[in-house]
Amino acid sequence: MEHKKVGFIGLGDMGRPMARNLLKKGFRVTVCAHVNRAPIEELKALGATEVKSPGEVAAASDVVLSAVRDEPQTDRVMYSESGVLQGIRKGSTIIIHSTITPQYCQKLAAAAKEKGVSVLDAPVSGAKTAAEAGALTFMIGGEQAAMEEFRPLFEAMGKNIFHLGAVGMGEVMKLVNNLVLFGNMAVASESVGMGLKAGVKLDRILDVLKASTGNSWVIGNWETSTRLKRDWEQRGMAGTWGMIHKDLETALKTARSVGVFLPIAGIVSQTDVSTLFPEPKD
């Protein structure tokens, strides 16, 4: 694996620390020029090579990792005149870290196969803190042999690696995880809000829940969740809560495609973010 040249596209809150960890583990990484110079300059200082387009990233790499926001951005990265599929070489691999529909990944895999290129979908969980610590969870769809070939790459960025089946199944699992998480966020917020309104202190509510059957990742990471809310208030749909709503809509679309109804997820998708994660008013 050490000889593999890695291309990384999408240097946001998750992609930037993921690429940083690859460089720190000795991988040769090529990144794509972007108007936001901060992550580019940081990664170049660690040894990354900068090129002008996704197609040039692909041409310089044996494996291309894409961690962009959504399907429209993935379209531009993969299918444009200067996109990955124009520059990629036969025998290379594309790994999708974005949370998108399994059907999209399957169509991309079919298009890539015509060029002799394989595709893995490998969405991640753990949020920014796990990305920075190299402790992400990877949910992977695609050929198991391909996953094993790139296991050292995944291990450089994470600590939990799961193979879920054919292309697209990693995305299915990520949507399942996010539905559980977002539903818990909504219920936990309402419940804690009731306790606050009735007069119990926030630290006491959280202490009891952490020691009781109501405990969850959301309760254990309450401050992280309140920061996500503040991010929304500052950046709107460009922020993390915008990504959450995008993922909810992706899950609902995927559920419809397999004939499953998600009434609770539908309610959560309409939640007013301003009502979530109440903070005590002194």
Which CATH number fits the domain that encloses residue 267? Answer: 1.10.1040.10
Where residue 133 sits, what CATH number does that domain have?
A: 3.40.50.720
Does residue 265 share a domain with residue 178? yes
Annotated catalytic residue, options 4, 107, 159, 174: 174
Within this chain, do residues 156 and 197 fall inside the same structural domain, yes or no?
no
Residues 199 and 157 reside in one and the same domain: no
**183 and 124 inside one domain:** no
Helices 222-235 and 240-257 pack at an angle, to 10 degrees, of: 100
Please report whether residue 256 resides in a domain: yes
Q: Is 90 tagged catalytic? A: no
Residues 70 and 85 in one domain: yes
Residue 44 lies in a domain: yes
Q: Same domain, yes or no, for 228 and 116?
A: no
**Which of 138, 167, 196 is where one domain is finished?**
167
Evaluate whether residue 102 is within a structural domain: yes
What is the three-state SS of the chain? CCCCEEEEECCCCCHHHHHHHHHHCCCEEEEECCCCHHHHHHHHHCCCEEECCHHHHHHCCCEEEECCCCHHHHHHHHHCCCCHHHHCCCCCEEEECCCCCHHHHHHHHHHHHCCCCEEEECCEECHHHHHHHCCEEEEEECCHHHHHHCHHHHHHHEEEEEEEECCCHHHHHHHHHHHHHHHHHHHHHHHHHHHHHHCCCHHHHHHHHHCCCCCCHHHHCHHHHHHHHHHHHHHHHHCHHHHHHHHHHHHHHHHHHCCCCCHHHHHHHCCCHHHCCCCCCC
Domain range for 147 is: 5-167
Asked if 273 contacts 241 with a C-beta cutoff of 8 angstroms, the reply is yes
Query: Does the residue 30 lie in any domain?
Result: yes
Final residue in a domain of this structure, among 146, 167, 188: 167
- Cα separation, 210 vs 217, in Å, equals 9
Write the CB contacts of 145 (distance below 8 Å, at least 6 apart in sequence): none
The answer on 162 and 80 residing in a single domain is yes
Which of the listed residues 142, 167, 192 is the one where a domain comes to its end?
167
Residues 24 and 147 in one domain: yes
Distance CA 58, CA 83 (A): 8
Predicted pLDDT of residue 236: 60
In a domain, 32, yes or no: yes
Q: Does 190 share its domain with 230?
A: yes
> How far is Cα 6 from Cα 60, in angstroms, rounded to an integer?
8
Extract the tokens encoding 24. Answer: 């720190």
pLDDT score at 182: 92
pLDDT score of 45: 97
Residue 66 lies in a domain: yes
Write out the chain's pLDDT in tens, 282 residues: 556 899 999 999 999 999 999 999 999 999 998 888 999 999 999 999 999 999 999 999 999 999 999 999 999 999 999 999 999 999 999 999 999 999 999 999 999 999 999 999 999 999 889 999 999 999 999 999 999 999 999 999 999 999 999 999 999 999 999 999 999 999 999 999 999 999 999 999 999 999 999 999 999 999 888 887 777 777 665 566 778 889 999 999 999 999 999 999 999 999 887 788 888 876
pLDDT for residue 238: 56
Same structural domain, 45 and 154? yes
Model pLDDT for residues 124-179, shown as the tens digit of each residue: 999 889 999 999 999 999 999 999 999 999 999 999 999 999 999 999 999 999 99
- For residue 271, the model assigns a pLDDT of 85
Both 258 and 179 in one domain: the answer is yes
Which pLDDT score, from 0 to 100, does residue 4 have? 83
Same domain for 62 and 80, yes or no, is: yes
- C-alpha to C-alpha distance for 241 and 15, rounded to whole angstroms: 17
Domain count, the chain: 2
In a domain, 282, yes or no: no
pLDDT of residue 228: 74
Residue 280 lies in a domain: no
d(CA 163, CA 140): 5
